[in-house]
Structure 1
Amino acid sequence: MNICVFCSAAELDSVYTEAAREFAELLGKRGHSLVWGGSDSGLMKVVADGVQGAGGRLIGVSVEFLRDVARPDTDEMAVAADLAERKALLLDRADAVVVLVGGTGTLDEATEILELRKHGMHSKPVVVLNTAGFYNGLQQQMTRMEAEGFLPVPLADLVSFADDGPQALELLGA
């Protein structure tokens, strides 16, 4: 299974990096391929190192203005002209999506994927790995959106929230 992971390219606290590393190693050990933003820095590097070190394949999709921080030792690497094309290529290459901790870029990627799913543009499972409760606020907001009629489909049909890597993979059916 090709699993797209959205996450930060920033250096983060060990509570986040250790959880990401454990999840990445599970992906690699189970024979999954990582589809990710292609960066060789921060949490993206941690995830790529973990997958590759455990025997998994790396499928990167960088963007032209970040070409200089793209990981050189991938199995495949595409370079998109802009962020919109990058998101489309990431989704196209993936069988499923997992959202790890991140900033506005990660949130942008996650919400676009959820919007496309809401409109039936894809049916790939989406799981948010809620490390240390990082996405509790997002989960609460989405629950409110559903309760107040802002989501035309049940929240459970859009996204699942997992507390750890094994649960995330279980929710993906991986």
Structure 2
Amino acid sequence: MNITVFLSAGDLGECYTRPAREFAELIGKGGHTLVWGGSDTGLMKVVADGVRESGGRLNGISVAFLRKWAREDADEMTFAKDLAERKALLLGESDAVVVLPGGVGTLDEVTEVLELKKHGLYGKPVVLLNTGGFYDGLILQLRHMDQQGFLPVPLAELLFVAGTGADAVGYLEKHAGIGDGTVAEPRPA
């Protein structure tokens, strides 16, 4: 399975790197492919290292102006002409999306995939990995939008919120056809 992740390329503390690494190891041990922004820096590097060291494949999709930060040992590396094409390629290669902590670029990516999903243009699972409550504010806003009628489909159909990497992978096993599905029931957003 190709699991696209949206996340920070920044150097972050252990409260973010440890859970990201645990999630990455589950991807690798499952024999899956990480599809990510291709960077060999920050949280992106932590996840790519965890997947690689646990037996998974790496499919990087970067942009030309970030080439100097691209991971050299990726199994595949594509360079898009711009960020919009990069997002399209990341989604086109995915069987599911998992969003880890990140900045405005990650926020742009998650809102775009939710917009596509809302219109039925992306039908695959989307998981928000809410490490240490990082996305509590976003979740609160999305729930408010849902409750006030701003979302034409229920939020629970757009997004699954996972508290741990194991919850995220468990949801994918149940909803994207990987593994045996023997995990706790998903919690809707």
Question: Unpaired segments of 5 or more residues in structure 2?
Answer: 179-189
For the aligned residue pairs, the C-alpha RMSD in angstroms reads 0.6
2:96 matched to which residue of 1? 96
Is the partner of 1:66 in helix, strand or coil? helix
Letter in 1 for 2:158: L
Is the partner of 1:113 in helix, strand or coil? helix
Question: Unpaired segments of 5 or more residues in structure 1?
Answer: none
* CA distance in 1 between partners of 2:31 and 2:118 (Å): 29
Is the partner of 1:127 in helix, strand or coil? strand
1:139 matched to which residue of 2? 139
Q: What is the TM-score when the length of structure 2 is the normalising length?
A: 0.91
1:116 paired with 2:90, answer no
Letter in 2 for 1:66: L
Alignment: residue pair count: 174
Instruction: Kindly state the Cα deviation for residue 172 of structure 1 after the two structures are TM-superposed.
Output: 1.6
Instruction: Kindly state the Cα deviation for residue 99 of structure 1 after the two structures are TM-superposed.
Output: 0.2
2:62 matched to which residue of 1? 62
* 1:31-70 correspondence runs (5 A): 31-70=31-70
Is the partner of 2:150 in helix, strand or coil? coil
Instruction: Kindly state the Cα deviation for residue 15 of structure 1 after the two structures are TM-superposed.
Output: 0.5
Kindly provide the CA deviation profile for residues 82-111 of structure 1, in whole angstroms up to 9, marking residues without a partner as x.
000000000000100000000000110111
Q: What is the TM-score when the length of structure 1 is the normalising length?
A: 0.99
* CA distance in 1 between partners of 2:29 and 2:67 (Å): 29
Instruction: Kindly state the Cα deviation for residue 22 of structure 1 after the two structures are TM-superposed.
Output: 0.4
